[in-house]
Structure 1
Amino acid sequence: MGIEDFAAPERTNMHRLTLRAGLYRAFPQALAESGVSWGECYHADFGDGVLVLVPADYPKAVFSELVPSALAASLAEHNRSSQPSERIRLRLVLHAGEVSYDAHGTTGCALVHAFRLLNSGVLKKAMAYSGGDLALIASAWYREEIIRHSPLSRPDRYHPVVVQEKETTARAWIRIVGPDESRHGGPWRDDRALG
């Protein structure tokens, strides 16, 4: 996950520390409310965001059914009491796959794919267009295998896109969680991704 415009010139280092503190409060809280223990997850800090890998014994549907609303509520709580430069708008990717660990951290095709989706221009456009605090992007696999079969995941709120990032061209699905969630896409939506 990554914080939108973390390096914006109007943000000072003090603002960035507040953003990071808010993120590290909001996400573990959202996981706990969804029945997932932060302490059981692998996490690596990236300055403007964090990589969180959840043990395979947790049901994957939890991350599309429960975590989005819990996280949106945690972000809204943080943002209500923060000045504009300290408000968090967050991009989050939902994907699953094999990960390899070594003494330095993690690697694997699944991680490469997840980061391409997270850093894609289409997700950044969707976030900029929306008024929500949370933009989710689900890989085609995650949408097909998990979200589509789960009414609680709100599959009707995900919109198809084509991600073109570095060497990756892939279908994905975006959901904006927030007050304008009922909007059906925006200029970033690409119905060709359905074909």
Structure 2
Amino acid sequence: MADPVHHTILAVGIDGFSSFDRTNLHRLAQREGLYRAFQRALAESGVAWDHCHQADFGEGVLLLVPAGYPKAVFSELVPDALTRSVADHNSTHRPPERIRLRMVLHAGEVSYDGYGTTGSAIVHAFRLLNSVVLRKRLAWSDSDLAVIASGWYHDEIIRHSPSSGCYEPVVVQEKETTTRAWIRLVGSAEPDYRALG
């Protein structure tokens, strides 16, 4: 087994993907929209899709970014670019094919084997992505994207950035995990931190 490798960990999932009122054809259109929007947002932010390890998980995609990319790119540039791309998709699709996304930002050591990747950092990222608190915040908003950042990612990256005022602290309690995280709603429900100087 190879030694663990440090990555920025980014995962995006389609909210409500398994809803009963969606058919498989609707879900295929949603997945196409997700991949197109995500790849475009990364390209606009200067991140090469092919430089990253990708893993599909049905309703979304896990992206492991090499350590050479500045982590601030993923909290400062990617969310706005992704929201614009999602809006473009939604403007040309019927309601069951439209997408709202949850996104997680974390970083840590990842182990590779012949089947893919694993590591406690990935487990932690998915606990945040699938947390009840994140799902509820998105459901109660009119935003197309809800971002949740781990405590580590917030303290080391976001806290020192212009967008720090857009994130709200929350407590995540999922399975064996109880931790502090930070949520940002991107879109019309987002506060205008630029107006604060």
Q: TM (normalized to structure 2)?
A: 0.91
CA distance in 1: counterparts of 2:64 and 2:96, whole angstroms: 29
State the Cα distance separating 1:150 from its structure 2 match.
1.2
Match of 1:138 in 2: 149
Match of 1:78 in 2: 89
How do 1:92-107 and structure 2 match up within 5 A?
92-107=103-118
CA distance in 2: counterparts of 1:85 and 1:50, whole angstroms: 20
How do 1:140-159 and structure 2 match up within 5 A?
140-151=151-162, 154-159=163-168
Q: 2:131 aligns with which of 120, 125, 135?
A: 120
Runs of 4 or more off by more than 3 Å in structure 1? none
Alpha-carbon RMSD across the aligned residues, in angstroms, is: 1.1
Q: How many residues align?
A: 182
Greater relative CO, 1 or 2 (CA 8 Å, sep 6+): 2
Unpaired segments ≥5 residues, structure 2: 1-11
Aligned sequence identity (%): 68
One-letter identity of the residue aligned with 1:26: A
State the Cα distance separating 1:181 from its structure 2 match.
0.8
Identify the structure with the greater strand proportion: 2
One-letter identity of the residue aligned with 1:119: N
**Partner secondary structure for residue 108 of structure 2:** coil
State the Cα distance separating 1:172 from its structure 2 match.
0.1
Q: 1:178 aligns with which of 165, 168, 187?
A: 187
How do 1:1-195 and structure 2 match up within 5 A?
1-151=12-162, 154-182=163-191
Distance 1:70 1:126, change over 3 A: same
State the Cα distance separating 1:180 from its structure 2 match.
1.4
Instruction: Give CA deviations for 1:66-120 in whole Å, capped at 9, x if unaligned.
Output: 0010000000100111111011100000000000011001000100100000010
Unpaired segments ≥5 residues, structure 1: 185-195
State the Cα distance separating 1:57 from its structure 2 match.
0.4
CA distance in 2: counterparts of 1:65 and 1:166, whole angstroms: 30
CA distance in 1: counterparts of 2:41 and 2:80, whole angstroms: 8
**Partner secondary structure for residue 155 of structure 2:** helix
